[in-house]
Structure 1
Amino acid sequence: MASYRDVAELIRQDVAAGTWAADRPIPGIDKLRDRYGVARETAHRAVKALVAEGLLYSIPRRGTYIRPPLPAPTRIRDRQAYRDEIGYFFDLGAQDWRAVGPAIPPQVGVPPSDVADVLGVARKDHVMVRDRAIGPPDADLPEQLATSYLPMPLVGQLPILGAPNTGPGGIYDRIEEHFGKAIEWEETVSARPATAHEQQALRIGSGLPVLIITRTSRIDDHQVVEVNQTRMAADRYSVSYGVRRSESAVFPRPSAA
């Protein structure tokens, strides 16, 4: 009797052979049961294992789909701020990326606890939340989800931060114009399990984490004016940064006394 691992391997082989197209649903559990001659529960466990592995992804009430193959090579996200005629951007590989899907209106909401701590607001306080789903110009589905959190006192001073259209250069240009000073940024990289929303939007299985780039925007090196969290499938991105030498690691090395 075939185990669910055996069936999972047969499904992998069928996916590799192009039996079903990427981003299209695979046959339902009953059809898989008949195709591989196994019990329904065995077929179900095989599909669950492949969703957790990342080969498949599920959309509630619509089915289980084949995840598109990894791009070659995996995208590398650098760690510098750039600017073009549209405004600031933070990844040369995504300079031409735009919003994918319908516009998401700004809303007032409670931020994640870690974001509240960085913003310097109480964990139950409300902030302005601006969500974007972004990807290449020809993409039908996003590759990254980006959310900006802005403290309400700042939005009170600068109401355009809560408007659907913040004008050329977006929120960063409006903030710099308001203070008459340059924003300074700091980024941290982390990972966690994907939420149900992230799994569906990014087409990833429950077993795959998201890579999170948390960018903190400051004025005068102390006043936090925004926190942005950009999430992406962790198996499709890496982060590149230079390694600088401290004074203790100079070369040529000082001669021994």
Structure 2
Amino acid sequence: MAGYREVAARIRRDIEAGEWPTDKAIPGIDRLKDRYKVARQTANRAVQHLVSEGILYSQGRRGTFIRPPAPAPIVARDRTVYRDQLGYFFDRGAQDWRGIGTPSQEVGVPPADIAELLSVGTGDHVMIRDRAVGPPDAEHPLQLATSYLPMPLVGQLPVLGAAKTGPGGIYDRLEEHFDASISWEETVSSRPANDHEQQQLRIGAGLPVLVVTRVSRIGSQVVEVNRTRMPADRFAVAYPVMRDVTARWPREAERSE
């Protein structure tokens, strides 16, 4: 009898052949076991294997769906901040992206590393702003962004906790409040997607998310930390490679000859 990997390969071939539409759930486990003439457990393991590979994603009781192919081109983040009539943005390839769903604002406890970046105590409350974004025609988001702001600053500038923060968003409000420009520093990492990210981004448990942690400063004061998560297979990070003085050209030994 066929093993689950063989069944997974057959399901993958049927997906590539267009056997099932991407907007409807694939057949249930009982139908799959009959189709491929295997035990129910084998069919279930095959499906879970394809979920872990990112070929399929689960929507709970709604069923299991085929993950749409990655959009082309992949959005490449660089090390530049841009601005248009709506305000600052950080992904040139995502300039026309829009919010998907309803953003939220709540007071809560941030992750320990965010608390440290904000210089607030472990367990202290901060303002948490969540939003999801994607291309104009997207049905689900491709990025999840969460901003964390210290409560003393929100007390001085209550608009930071409002549903609508006005033209330019919180960054324009912060620069107006301090009458100074924001500087940003980003750290890029990756990790397995959590349950919420898997559901929102339509990715399987086996796929990682690219995590961009952006620290916003005015002078030496950290005024916000933003953590943006995105499917790691749909984004890239691109930047010019600069020569340090130790790597200058012509090389020192050649200049002395």
What residue identity is the alignment partner of 2:231? A
State the alpha-carbon separation in 2 of the partners of residues 70 and 99 from structure 1: 19
Aligned partner of 2:242 in structure 1 is: 244
Aligned partner of 1:211 in structure 2 is: 210
CA contact (8 A) 2:148 2:225 kept: yes
Per-residue CA shift, 1:144-197, capped at 9, x if unaligned?
101100010100110000000000010000000010110000001001110101
What residue identity is the alignment partner of 1:194? A
CA contact (8 A) 1:57 1:205 kept: yes
Give yes or no for the alignment of 1:77 onto 2:87: no
What residue identity is the alignment partner of 1:185? W
CA contact (8 A) 1:134 1:143 kept: yes
The alignment of Structure 1 onto Structure 2 pairs a total of residues equal to: 255
State the alpha-carbon separation in 2 of the partners of residues 256 and 150 from structure 1: 55
Aligned partner of 2:91 in structure 1 is: 91
What residue identity is the alignment partner of 1:25? A
Per-residue CA shift, 1:58-83, capped at 9, x if unaligned?
01221111000122333212221001
Per-residue CA shift, 1:68-125, capped at 9, x if unaligned?
0122333212221001111000011011111012x22310111111111111111211
State the alpha-carbon separation in 2 of the partners of residues 74 and 106 from structure 1: 30
Give yes or no for the alignment of 1:233 onto 2:223: no
**TM-score, normalised via structure 1 length:** 0.97
Cα offset for 1:11? 0.4
CA contact (8 A) 1:79 1:91 kept: no
Give yes or no for the alignment of 1:168 onto 2:130: no
State the alpha-carbon separation in 1 of the partners of residues 192 and 23 from structure 2: 22
Cα offset for 1:249? 1.3
Aligned partner of 1:64 in structure 2 is: 64
User: What does 1:77-226 correspond to in 2, within 5 Å?
Assistant: 77-101=77-101, 103-220=102-219, 222-226=220-224
Which runs of 5 or more structure 2 residues have no equivalent in the other structure? none
Cα offset for 1:253? 2.2
Name the SS of the counterpart of 2:61 in structure 1: coil
Which runs of 5 or more structure 1 residues have no equivalent in the other structure? none
State the alpha-carbon separation in 1 of the partners of residues 189 and 66 from structure 2: 27
Aligned partner of 2:51 in structure 1 is: 51
CA contact (8 A) 2:56 2:64 kept: yes
Name the SS of the counterpart of 1:106 in structure 2: strand
User: What does 1:3-14 correspond to in 2, within 5 Å?
Assistant: 3-14=3-14
State the alpha-carbon separation in 1 of the partners of residues 194 and 122 from structure 2: 20
What residue identity is the alignment partner of 1:224? V
Q: 31-40 or 247-256, which moves further after superposition?
A: 247-256
**TM-score, normalised via structure 2 length:** 0.97
Aligned partner of 1:25 in structure 2 is: 25
CA contact (8 A) 2:175 2:182 kept: yes
State the alpha-carbon separation in 1 of the partners of residues 24 and 211 from structure 2: 27
Name the SS of the counterpart of 1:83 in structure 2: strand
CA contact (8 A) 1:23 1:67 kept: no
What residue identity is the alignment partner of 2:71? P
What residue identity is the alignment partner of 1:66? I
